[in-house]
């Protein structure tokens, strides 16, 4: 028995409470150690590409592992640890889908359930931080269709924010089935990912001063699914006072894909895929908490395929949901109504889109071309804002007439179809969100139009092309210029864009205004705010340019006409 206890103690000292390693005695360095609320961590000193020193602390636990009985439950505060936690080793991807494989139409599981860790990067030595001169903080939530992704250093290097004196927090959070499963009742109300993201903000309020960060100047930001995460926190009373600005990139809670409206069915579909046949949600959840996580990850593929065709009307399978009202709920109403009524956390917002969001999906377009005749037979398949079949056919036909010159979908060019879907899937809901928020909070709107080599690299990875088939910047390209990507060094033009973009973002993070002063690096622009239906925007390109005309005005007004004439109110999305 004594030997067993001795071995157990050795294992705890070696691997730590969470399976994370402790720093060996011969590697201890007091200069790189920080005492947090839950224990001591040791990070490392690094340098940016401009040779500026910064400090990184990665793989830091912010909640208990959401495993066993904590699966499909709210995150719990982390347990305290003894010894010095090694904060030079990143935490694992959360259990989900391998995004790199998914874009090639291959669905492979990836990651672990025990994944609630975050990375912190600070440009100042925390040991020398002045409590009267704390730095602003950026918390960035990654995208990945709610199915995959993770803030790994190789993809989300914080170097350029370090050069702008901004502390960066990059958290992992639950995704796919583990992040969004809901039975639409109190047995499994859902939004576990959003609750993880909320737990991150609470952790920041408690600990960020120890890194030299200012808990009263926290900006939340995210792109695509991460943008919906930010928008969800923006709407949640639970997040009040935990952040002070928001950046919402290429996504909105008003996007049709951002909210799942048939999550109870999906939960029972998962049960069936795993051999759990029941109509009782309590029994279903009891059994799902017993199943091996790998089996659940494998079962999510057929569940996704079964529910894929309904995604046009019901949203992607694993996304935020409207919860039943209870103490732990983060969202209990659709956000269109909340935005209209000003029921959200009123902070400055920076939001916008890329110039041709759907370009990233060109390979999918090529594969789907044989199916386009379905939309010619029934153009109403694209219409989500009315259930009246006659109105859906009418609206679908009007969309064809206006956006495609009444050509058949099958005969339209890739660019014509991409532009139609860029507006439908991204531009319209993001602009509508900006209009509604601007009645209560400052809003800055942008269009990212810079066609750089890094963006071409994205298209090469996703689409297998070596040059741009036509002008336009695809979904996700802008994030490549915000973060350092170790495998892809940037040329001088791309580096210049990175300097511009991170300066804009850093200004907003610091002041709530991206252009508080005229600066040569930003081409001396002054970025005007959105005011209701007046939506001027900043065109972000090699040279920054303010466009005073309303963003995408003529096309947007056609969408407005269709929604107001045929849409069924109250709107859930837009």
**Domain boundary at 313, 347, 381, which?**
347
CATH number of the domain within which 251 lies = 3.40.50.1820
- Which one of 12-26, 291-305, 317-331 scores highest in mean pLDDT? 317-331
In terms of domains, do 537 and 557 share one?
Answer: yes
Q: Can you give the pLDDT at residue 104?
A: 58
pLDDT tens digits for range 319-345: 999 999 999 999 999 899 999 999 999
Mean pLDDT of 305-327: 84
Coil, strand or helix: which one is 259?
coil
In terms of domains, do 380 and 241 share one?
Answer: no
Please state whether 261 falls in left (phi above 0), alpha (psi between -120 and 50) or beta: alpha
**Cα distances (Å, whole numbers) of residue 52 to 55, 89, 477, 542:** 10, 22, 26, 25
In terms of domains, do 405 and 552 share one?
Answer: yes
Query: Does residue 574 belong to any structural domain of this protein?
Result: no
**Domain boundary at 313, 329, 347, which?**
347
Mean pLDDT of 113-129: 91
Which residue range is the domain that position 25 belongs to? 2-347
Query: Does residue 63 belong to any structural domain of this protein?
Result: yes
Percent of the chain's residues with pLDDT above 90: 67
Among 83-97, 127-141, 172-186, 346-360, the range scoring the smallest mean pLDDT is 127-141
Percent of the chain's residues with pLDDT above 70: 94
In terms of domains, do 342 and 376 share one?
Answer: no
Query: Does residue 573 belong to any structural domain of this protein?
Result: no
Among 206-220, 342-356, 478-492, the range scoring the smallest mean pLDDT is 478-492
Among 13-17, 232-236, 564-568, the range scoring the smallest mean pLDDT is 13-17
pLDDT tens digits for range 441-465: 999 999 999 999 998 887 777 776 7
| Sequence-separated (6 or more) residues with CB below 8 Å from residue 60 | 36, 41, 85, 87, 117, 118, 119, 120
Q: Can you give the pLDDT at residue 26?
A: 87
Q: Is the pLDDT of residue 310 over 90?
A: no
Query: Does residue 522 belong to any structural domain of this protein?
Result: yes
Helix H or strand E encompassing 121: strand 117-122
Q: Can you give the pLDDT at residue 11?
A: 33
Q: CB of 416 within 8 A of CB of 433?
A: no
Q: Can you give the pLDDT at residue 87?
A: 95
Q: Can you give the pLDDT at residue 496?
A: 95
pLDDT tens digits for range 168-190: 999 999 999 999 999 999 999 99
Q: Can you give the pLDDT at residue 5?
A: 36
Q: What is the mean pLDDT of the chain?
A: 89
Q: How many domains does the chain have?
A: 2
Burial of 80 (0-12, 13-18, 19+ CB in 10 A): exposed
Q: Can you give the pLDDT at residue 118?
A: 97
Among 98-107, 153-162, 388-397, the range scoring the smallest mean pLDDT is 98-107
Q: Helix 281-288 to helix 263-273 angle, to the nearest 10 degrees?
A: 50
């Amino acid at each position: 028995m004594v030997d067993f206890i001795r071995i157990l103690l050795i294992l705890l000292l070696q691997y730590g409470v969470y399976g994370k390693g402790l720093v060996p005695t011969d590697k201890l360095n007091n200069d790189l150690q920080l005492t947090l609320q839950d224990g001591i961590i040791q990070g490392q000193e690094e340098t940016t590409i401009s040779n500026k020193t910064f400090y990184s602390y990665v793989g830091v636990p912010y909640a208990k592992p959401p495993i066993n009985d904590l699966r499909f439950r709210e995150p719990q505060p982390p347990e305290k640890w003894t010894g010095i936690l090694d904060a030079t080793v990143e935490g694992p991807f959360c259990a989900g889908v391998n995004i790199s494989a998914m874009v090639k139409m291959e669905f492979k599981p990836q990651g672990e359930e025990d994944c609630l860790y975050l990375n912190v990067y600070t440009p100042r030595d925390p040991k020398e931080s002045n409590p009267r001169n704390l730095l602003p903080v950026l918390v960035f939530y990654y995208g990945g269709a709610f199915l995959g992704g993770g803030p790994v250093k190789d993809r989300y290097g914080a170097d350029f924010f370090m050069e702008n004196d901004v502390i960066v927090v990059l958290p992992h959070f639950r995704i796919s089935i583990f992040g969004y499963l809901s039975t639409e009742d109190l047995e499994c109300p859902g939004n576990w990912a959003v609750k993880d993201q909320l737990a991150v903000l609470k952790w920041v309020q408690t600990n960020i001063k120890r890194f030299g960060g200012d808990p009263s100047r926290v900006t939340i930001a995210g792109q695509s699914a991460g943008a919906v995460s930010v928008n969800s926190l923006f709407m949640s009373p639970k997040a009040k006072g935990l952040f002070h600005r928001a950046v919402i990139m290429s996504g909105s809670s008003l996007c049709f894909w951002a909210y799942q409206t048939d999550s109870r069915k999906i939960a029972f579909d998962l049960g069936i895929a795993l051999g759990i046949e029941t109509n009782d949600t309590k029994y279903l959840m009891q059994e799902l908490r017993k199943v091996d996580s790998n089996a659940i990850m494998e079962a999510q593929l057929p569940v996704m395929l079964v529910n894929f065709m309904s995604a046009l009307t019901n949203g992607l399978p694993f996304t935020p949901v409207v919860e039943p009202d209870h103490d732990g709920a983060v969202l209990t109403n659709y956000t269109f109504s909340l935005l209209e009524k000003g029921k959200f956390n009123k902070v400055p917002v920076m939001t916008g889109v890329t110039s041709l969001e759907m370009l990233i999906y060109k390979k999918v377009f090529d594969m789907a071309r044989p199916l386009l005749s379905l939309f010619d037979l029934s153009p109403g398949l694209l219409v989500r804002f009315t259930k009246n079949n006659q109105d859906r056919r009418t609206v679908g036909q009007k969309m064809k007439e206006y956006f495609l010159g009444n050509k058949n979908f099958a005969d339209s060019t890739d660019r014509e179809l991409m532009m139609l879907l860029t507006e439908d899937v991204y531009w319209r809901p993001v602009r509508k969100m900006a209009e509604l928020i601007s009645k209560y909070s400052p809003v800055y709107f942008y269009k990212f139009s810079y066609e750089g080599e890094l963006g071409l690299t994205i298209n090469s990875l996703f689409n297998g092309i070596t040059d741009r088939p036509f002008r336009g910047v695809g979904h996700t390209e802008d994030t490549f210029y915000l973060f350092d990507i170790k495998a892809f060094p940037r040329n001088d033009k791309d580096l210049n864009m990175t300097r511009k973009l991170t300066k804009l973002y850093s200004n907003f993070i610091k002041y709530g205004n991206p252009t508080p002063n005229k600066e040569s690096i930003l081409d001396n622009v002054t970025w005007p705010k959105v005011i209701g239906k007046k939506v001027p925007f900043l065109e972000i390109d090699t040279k920054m340019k303010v466009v005073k005309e309303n963003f995408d005005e003529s096309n947007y007004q056609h969408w407005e006409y269709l929604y107001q004439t045929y849409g069924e109110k109250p709107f859930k999305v837009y």
